[in-house]
A and B are shown apart, each in its own frame.
Chain A
Amino acid sequence: MTALNERDSALTRRTKPARPGQSRRPHGSLLLFLFPAVALVGVLLILPFLFTIYRSFFRDNGFSRSWVGLENYTTLLTDDIFVRSVLNTGMWTAGTLLLPVLLGLLIAVGTNSVRWGPIARFAIVLPYALSGAVTALLWNFMLQTDGATNALLSALGLSALERPWLLEWPMNTIVMIIATTWQATGASMILFLVGLQAIPAETIEAGRVDGAGGFRLFRSIVLPQLRPISVVVVGISLVNSLKTFDIVWLLTRGGPGTSSETLALTMYRQTFTLSRYGYGAAVAVILTVIVLVASWTYLRRQLRAN
């Protein structure tokens, strides 16, 4: 015990941070090491963001600019397209948190210790190797009204189930979430597998010795120990879902009309298609605030709980 105390004390001495003013040398070198990262984030992230906030107070078509105060924000809040865009982004967030994360966890747990596990995992991971554009092309081929899905349904005598999959809201958003699930589940699964393999075998054995098995073993022994990796997987999925752009752009361009637009698409359309830089900047600011608040709230809760 005394030896342990001595070791703890030595560790504390070694890792205790220097007080300000106590020693300038370590403090200065710390700043030096921090500088490149801080400078990069500052120049490439913070400054452009501050400039975006500034631009959002102007009516700006790229040639002329006039101060309008909060008009862009008040217009946004009464704009049906923006409200639909927020709703779609909410659907993407719920869908992406529910499907790829949950499926990734279930597949990782289900295939972790079975003989055919590597083959199943390979099949799930394979779509993750495809780029977003290729995924969109593939699903476009399947989901067009004259596409493979409807042709298959017709061939099977299930014509009643044929749909214009990408032409009706909310069906178009739902099928695009499914397409994303097909691609993204592999990434979640890999992360959960890493988490599973980091669980000490002794804890599983101890659970088994105590009579736990099946779902009880998973719920009481495995799941709690997957918590750190779950925080990462859910955090990444949350941010990815809030900035969903590529697959929607490539499959429906946000349409028909603007029915399947997400906030990222609204921002892009306003800025780069309509050349309304001030209005687009206001959407960007709101999207950034939503992403920051959601990530900060989630990570704060989870890290505090840990």
Chain B
Amino acid sequence: MSATTRSTTTITRRTALRMAGGVGAAAILPACARGTLTRAAPGDDVTLNNDNPTWAPGFEAAGEVLHATTGHGFAIRAVPDVSSYQQIVRMSAQTDSTTDLVKWWNGYRLQDVARAEIFADLTAAWDQAERNGWVDPSLRDSFSYDGRPYAIPLYQSYYAVFYSQSAYQRLGLEVPQDWDEFIANAQALRDGGVTPIASGGVDSWESLIWFQQLLIGLDPDFYAALTDGQASYTDDTAQEAMAIWVDMYEQELFSPPDTQVTELPGRFAEGSVGMNLHGAWNTNAFVQAGMDEDTFGLFLLPAVASTAPHAVVTESGALAVTVNAHKRSAAMDVAGAWLDTDVQRAWVGFLSDLSANPAALPPVQPVRDLATQVEQTSPVLATRYWEASPPVLVEGNVEELSAFMAEPTLAMAQATLRRMQERAEAEWDRWLL
């Protein structure tokens, strides 16, 4: 091989490498700029971003039904960490690198972003759902900002008591009909060597569960006023709720506050935990663990005060269409058909929880029983505390409640309420700016 030939070969190789590098960079750089999470879905599908990767099979099942009615299915994206997910949606929705639909929260969390005009007006979707009887119109307010709805309900979960059938049967207990019976059941479980009420939250949002429950159990109107900034955390009703909570701790009716909700299916099965107040969406964890109505049941917690009406906390995920969606028109069609009974049946069939559409029930007996209880008692619906006040206020106050759970004394309860009120005053001022 001559020197000239070698030289020519080298140049050719270099040129080839440069070209390959150039083509590679041209292919990679736009991909980096856009990211796989936020690219438009191929074909007729629309992209949906959410913070729960385990929901993908449920969305796909619902997407198949949606495809038959609207011509569009789902391409699912998921970011498992809630904080990261919120940041991604807040930032990407302001650009064209956004998914078509996003899972969000209702109440003040929705207002927080809706006022930045990143979500599309879903008045048409709500009107269609109400016309078809797919949704209770009273829910519309908690999905609205400035009189217009910006999301539709993803699901409709109630906060109810999960109870262990084996523990209840072993101790001969019945589902309580009033607050005294509920406390008596807890005491019987304690005396029988069973942890009466599992209640975690020392390092999570779950610290709000008993706070909101005791408040609505005493006076749902006060809870509504408190979360709307019209009442004080140091008012008598809040003080009374905290005193009841302290008393329950003193009676040793609660588990340690670092109990993890993920442990519960196993502990229910062995009968070492009696009850747990939680969103009914946690039924899915029990079902996934192979448990059925023979192992656990669900009941609505009776009101604390005998004069108080039936009330229950509800939680609704929200489904929103981004203003900058790649396929906005298709996404609006999907949002309009989301609450269709057939779509919701496919969705709750996976979720094992209730839909905002009362005709769609999951094939899980305890949840169907819960739906019947709600229908029979027509309770006052209270928005979960997480969504019921401005997000920064709630996040700070939830941390106060977590700290209280680590030291559940009356002195700590009063200090907690005082700090919650101080934060409320500061944060309501900021919110209204």
Q: Tell me the complex Cα distance, A272–B84, Å.
A: 7
Q: Does A117 make an interface contact (CB < 8 A)?
A: no
Q: A274-B395, A275-B86 are in contact. Are A62 and B403 (CB under 8 A)?
A: no
Restricting to B62-103, which residues have a CB under 8 Å from any CB of A? 83-84, 86-87, 90-91, 94
Instruction: Decide if B256 touches A145 in the complex (CB within 8 Å).
Output: yes
Q: Tell me the complex Cα distance, A275–B396, Å.
A: 13
- Cβ contact of B204, chosen from A166, A168, A253, A272, cutoff 8 A: A253
Q: Tell me the complex Cα distance, A258–B255, Å.
A: 22
Q: Tell me the complex Cα distance, A168–B273, Å.
A: 25
Q: Tell me the complex Cα distance, A167–B368, Å.
A: 38
A-chain residues with CB within 8 Å of residue B405 when the two chains form the complex: 256
- Cβ contact of A255, chosen from B84, B94, B203, B391, cutoff 8 A: B203
- Cβ contact of A274, chosen from B203, B204, B257, B391, cutoff 8 A: B391
Q: How many residues of A contact B (CB 8 A)?
A: 23
- Cβ contact of B402, chosen from A63, A257, A275, cutoff 8 A: A257
Is the contact region of chain A dominated by helix, strand, or loop, or is it mixed?
loop
Q: Does A246 make an interface contact (CB < 8 A)?
A: no
B84 and chain A: residue at smallest CB distance = A272
- Cβ contact of B406, chosen from A146, A256, A268, A274, cutoff 8 A: A256
- A16 CB, min distance to chain B CBs, angstroms: 39
Q: Tell me the complex Cα distance, A168–B255, Å.
A: 16
Interface residues on B, range: 20 to 34
Instruction: Decide if B258 touches A164 in the complex (CB within 8 Å).
Output: yes
Is the contact region of chain B dominated by helix, strand, or loop, or is it mixed?
helix
- A138 CB, min distance to chain B CBs, angstroms: 15
Q: Tell me the complex Cα distance, A90–B204, Å.
A: 25
- Cβ contact of B87, chosen from A146, A168, A275, cutoff 8 A: A275
| A contact residues vs B (CB 8 Å cutoff) | 62-64, 144-146, 164, 166-168, 252-253, 255-259, 268, 272-276
* Shortest 10 CB-CB contacts between residues of A and residues of B: A257-B403, A145-B256, A63-B116, A256-B406, A167-B406, A253-B203, A256-B403, A272-B83, A257-B399, A62-B90
A-B contact pairs, 29 of them (CB 8 A): A62-B91, A63-B118, A64-B116, A145-B257, A145-B258, A146-B255, A166-B202, A167-B202, A167-B406, A168-B407, A252-B203, A255-B202, A255-B406, A256-B203, A256-B257, A256-B403, A256-B407, A257-B399, A257-B400, A257-B403, A258-B399, A272-B83, A272-B86, A273-B83, A275-B86, A275-B87, A275-B90, A275-B391, A275-B392
| B contact residues vs A (CB 8 Å cutoff) | 83-84, 86-87, 90-91, 94, 113, 115-116, 118, 202-204, 255-259, 391-392, 395-396, 399-400, 402-403, 405-407
